[in-house]
Structure formats: C-alpha cells, structure tokens
Amino acid sequence: MAWRSSGASNQALIENLASNGLITQARVKQAMLGVDRAHYAPASPYQDSPQPIGHRATISAPHMHAAACESLLPYLRPGARVLDIGSGSGYLTHVLAELVKPGGKVVGVEHISPLVELARTNTAKSVEGRALLDSGAVEYVKADGRLGWEVQGPYDAIHVGAAAAGQNQVLVEQLKAPGRLFIPVEEGYMQHIYVIDKNEDGSVTKKKDIGVQYVPLTDAPEE
C-alpha cells in the first residue's frame, strides 16, 4: 500500500499513510503532521519513496519513517533521550523530537559534515524546529555512527537509518534498560530490520522484522 500513499501536500501524505494502515498510532500521525517534509526533501517531498539528498545519501520513504516511529513509540515518552544515527537531512530527528516533548532530547549523528549542516539548516526552517535547536532538544553532531554517541547516552531509543554490517553491540550497550534499538542489518544480499530490546534486567532480545533496502552504514571519506 505504500506506493498509493503519496499526496499533494504533507497533510495528504500523512492522511494517506494512515488510511492505508501504514500509520496506526495517533501520536505518530500527529508528530508527522507537524513536520513538513518539504523542509527536508529537496524534490518530491510528498511522494512515498526514498529521495536523494546529496553525498550518496537519501531520505527514507515516509512509510519507513512511520514504521520506525511506531516500533520505538513505547520508549518515546516526554523526557526520553533518543539517538538518530544517519540523520541525513534531519527529518526523522525532528519527528522523534516531537514525540519526546516536553523535556526530551534527540541527537542526530551523521559522518558527512555538509549533511550535518544541511540538517541544522532544514530544522531551522520552521518555528518549531528553531525552538528545538535553540533549547538543545535537537542536536546534530558529526561522528562515526557505527560507534554511536556515548557522551550523551544512555538512550531510551536508538534509530539507525542505514544498513549495518551486523547487530551492533556498541549501540546495544548505549541503550538504557529498558530501551530499544531499531536497525537495518545486512544479511548476505538481503537486509532486514531488527528490533533489539534491552530489558529491565539487562538481558537482550532480538526480533527480525521486514525486509528493507537502505544505503550502507559507513564512515566513508567525504567528497
């Protein structure tokens, strides 16, 4: 149903995603309605498909952003701390910040400096985004996402927006207990989303979810 969900406006896109069962939670719908994708996607922002943002990176399709938010939602409470690895143009970082207001914090990690600056610029396009930046509720940093961002952890939730070579133990260690990691993992010629929970007693459970196609999680040299 994802291919039917595109719209002529941000509201139409989100309403179509909800009508097609790709958004089922009211909090996720409200957060996505409040963040205009046109501020973050340079072309075809309301099409439900990945879009290039430069530097061989993409902004994921809206239905995948919705899936990530819905998976992490039990951990996206007011005051929660969230790590968004591969934050790209900043869209999902902003949506996640809406879901942890008030008092929450989202750190977007990107290894390409121009994309870090792009995310800051994009977030500042809206009044809401500027308020998040000014208050420190959203922060973008340049770092190797494979190593997470320990300095501001531990995190209630971690989202990874690029395909990892394995189920990254470093990121699991940066989760709170309880906490959840949403990560696409390369498996041969395939990729699958893994939802990894650190339970209250520190034990870890892993669930293999849908097949996906993401750009790889790397620390490649900048162009």
Residues with catalytic roles: 60
Residue entry with tokens 């121009």: 114
Instruction: Map residue 161 onto helix, strand or coil.
Output: coil
CA 59/CA 221 separation, integer angstroms: 20
Q: 163, 169, 165, 217: which is closest to 196 by C-alpha?
A: 169
CA-to-CA separations, 167 to 65, 172, 175, 190, 217, in angstroms, rounded: 20, 8, 13, 14, 12
Amino acid at 129: G
Q: Residue 16 belongs to what H/E stretch?
A: helix 10-19
91-99 vs 127-135: helix crossing angle, rounded to 10: 80
Phi and psi, residue 120, nearest 5°? -60, -45
Is there a contact between 107 and 83 (Cβ–Cβ < 8 Å)? yes
